Every structure is written in C-alpha cells, then in structure tokens.
Structure 1
Amino acid sequence: MFSVSLGDDNAELRPLEPWRAEEFLAHVDRGREHIGRYIGLADAVTDLESSRSFLRQYAERAASDTGRIFGIWVDDQLVGGVLFRTMDVPGGTAEAGCWLEPSAVGRGLVTRAARVIIDWAIEERGIHRVEWHVASANRPSIAVAQRLGMVRDGVLRESTLHRGERQDVEVWSVLAPEWRAAKRAG
C-alpha cells in the first residue's frame, strides 16, 4: 500500500479501503457532530455495515474510474479524508470534497491533501476542471477552496436538503491551466 507524506507533522494520505471499515467508523464516531454539520457522511456511516458499504461504494468507483477516497492519518490515526465524489475522466471533470474530525482542524491537513489529489487528477488523469461544492455557511471549507486557488463560480440557492434544512451551496472550481500556472508561480 502507498502513502504520501503531508509534511513534517507525521501526516499521511492513504487510500481508504473497505478493509478499514472499523477504523473508519471509529473515526466518524469521534467527529460525528462536527463532520455532520454540513455533509451527509456522518448520517451515512452509523454502524459497521454502513461503514463497509460506504467504503465499498468508493472501491467500486475507483475500479470504474468514477471516484476515489483517501484518508488522512496523523501519528497513524485516521483523522479525516479527501475524495473525488465524482470523476468523469472522458468529460474532464471531477468534484473534490473533504471532512475532518475536530482534533485535526486548523492544521492545514485538508489543503495539503486536496493539493495532492487535485494535482494527481489534473496531471495523471487529464482532468480539466475540478469542482468543490460547499455549503455557504461552511466557512472553513470555503477557505480551503480559496487556498487551493479556486474561483467561486456561483451559488445554488437552497439546492441541498441536509438534516431537514435547505442549504445554499457554493460551487468553486479550478481549471487545469490555472492549476499549472499557480504551481509554476510557486
């Protein structure tokens, strides 16, 4: 199995596979309220079977080249993750996303991990446009999009129903030429 170092703080990015279902469930349990504020992951992963099922879905997406999921580990403990919720390689688009448990917030982990997967998608898979969909109230995730050099494309007003309430969703994106120019600039 591979891992990618995310810096000097013993942080690594690794594939999040179905055999890690128990560890994944324990992680979601530690951060359930925090993770569930804006995304459905905490409501989808509630027991061992739903944890396995969730990770199996992403294993199937990886096999069909339509999505990917990666965990972020610090000191060998799973604390968050990044993913491609969707990938349309022939069409050149992908939607990236993230989550963290509270112990890992504020350390730049998501930004560093998202840089790795976005760079892979653009440089290795030929993705032209990477999107980031985020609830308008989720200021930390919007800050990640900004740090990644994404541009706000617009707001989908009250487009998502989350825990019984309608959320505005902002769509942010970066295009391959913009990504490459930012890398060259340094």
Structure 2
Amino acid sequence: MYAIRLSDDLDAELRPIEPWQAEEFLAHMDRARANVDPWISWAGRSTDLDSARATLQSYADQQAADSGRIFGIWLDGTLVGGTLFVKFDAKRGSCEIGVWSEAAGQGKGLISAAVRQLIDYALIERGLHRVEWINAVQSLRSRGVAERIGMQRDGVLRGFVEFRGERGDAEIWSMLAPDWRKIRSAAFPAGG
C-alpha cells in the first residue's frame, strides 16, 4: 500500500480506500453523513456494513476497469474525508473528480491538497487532457476548492443535480493539461 503526505504541518495522508476497510468507512460516513448526503449520492446509501462494502466494491470494480477510483484522507490516523475519480475515461482523455469531508477534515487544506494529487495523476502521469469538477451551486466549499486549484468555470448546468426529488443547478469547472503544467511550473520553478 502507498500513502501520499498531504501536509507538512499535519499528520495527513491520502491513500486508497478498499472494500476490506468498509467498517472504518461506515464509521466515517456516520460522522460525515449530514455534511455529505446532499452532495454525494452514495452517502445516503452507505448506511450499514453491507452497503458500505458495496460502495467500496463498486469503486474497486471501477479501478479494475480503469474507469474510476476512490481514495481516503486520514488525519491523525482517522478517516476524515476523501476524493475520487467519479468518471475516468483515458480513451476520451477526460475525468471528473469529486470530494467529501466530515467536519474534522474541513478547513485544513486537505481536500485541495488531495485534489492536486489526483489532477497531477490524471493530467501528468496518465496524460489525460481534461479534468472536470461539478458542484451544486449552493456548495460554496466545493466552489472554493475549484477556485483555489485554479480551475476555470465553464458554466452552469441547469437542473443537473437531484436530491430527494428536488432538482438544482450545478457549476461545471475544468482544468486542462496545458493550464495545469503552467500552474505547476509557477508553483515549482526549475531549480527552486
């Protein structure tokens, strides 16, 4: 197993989360559900050990098919959030990234750090051209991540998200490979 350190100041790691970790994932979802349920469709379905395991298994299956992947964010040894490739299409050269967090993982820069890792993987390591980010217009935290990362707002998708029978608008953001290379170059100049 591997872990990626997310902070110089905190004991925070990004690592794969797998079906055998369903019990830990369920405990985390129980803490996070109020924050996460409106935005992440599987949050309301991961309510017992079997359904939590099924959620993680679906991402394990997607990883095996190279069409999606899920990662957890651990802070001081506790799962507090995560990020995922909602969709990953190497053939088309595009993917969509999503995130979630319980209160204990918010306001520390961990989500932004994790998203940068996934963008690097998609655009640099795998050679994709486009990363997408979709958030409900009411999700100011999600919009803030997209802005901090340097994504471009492509527009509003009217009536795109549905939660408990209600339809709402979503913003779509993107990062293109050439733009990400410029951002990385500015953040890490040669020799610096």
Work out whether the TM-score is over 0.5. yes
**Which runs of no fewer than 5 residues in structure 2 stay unpaired?**
188-192
- Cα-to-partner distance string for 1:108-166 (whole Å, 9 max, x where unaligned): 11000000111011111111100001000000100000111100101111122112211
TM-score using structure 2 length = 0.95
Is the contact between residue 33 and residue 42 of structure 1 (CA under 8 Å) also seen in structure 2?
no
- Within the alignment, does 1:159 sit opposite 2:149 as a pair? no
Q: Counterpart in 2 of 1:130?
A: 131
- What CA RMSD, in Å, does the superposition of the two structures yield over aligned residues? 0.8
State the one-letter code of the partner of 2:70: I
Give, as a single letter, the amino acid of the residue that structure 2 aligns with 1:2: Y
Per the alignment, residue 60 of structure 2 pairs with: 59
- 2:10 counterpart of 1:5: no
Alignment of 1:1-186 (within 5 A): 1-7=1-7, 8-186=9-187
Equivalent position amino acid for 1:6 in 2: L
Q: What secondary structure does 2:82 align onto? A: strand
Letter of the 2:106 partner, please give it. V
Superposed CA deviations along residues 30-69 of structure 1, whole A, max 9, x for unmatched, are 1111111322232121111111111011011111100110
Report SS of the residue matched to 2:181.
helix
**Ranges of 4+ aligned residues in structure 1 off by more than 2 Å:** none
Q: Is the 8 A contact 1:35 1:41 kept in 2?
A: no
Aligned equivalents of 1:141, 1:51: Cα separation in 2: 24
**Residue ranges of structure 1 left out of the alignment (5+ in a row):** none
Percent identity of equivalent pairs: 52
71-80 or 151-160, which moves further after superposition? 151-160
> Following the alignment from structure 2 to structure 1, what is the Cα–Cα distance between the partners of residues 156 and 38?
19
Query: In 2, distance between residues paired with 1:41 and 1:10?
Result: 27
Which whole-Å CA distance do the structure 1 matches of 2:2 and 2:131 have between them?
23
Query: Given the two structures, how large is their TM-score scaled by the length of structure 1?
Result: 0.98
CA distance in 1, matches of 2:92, 2:32: 35
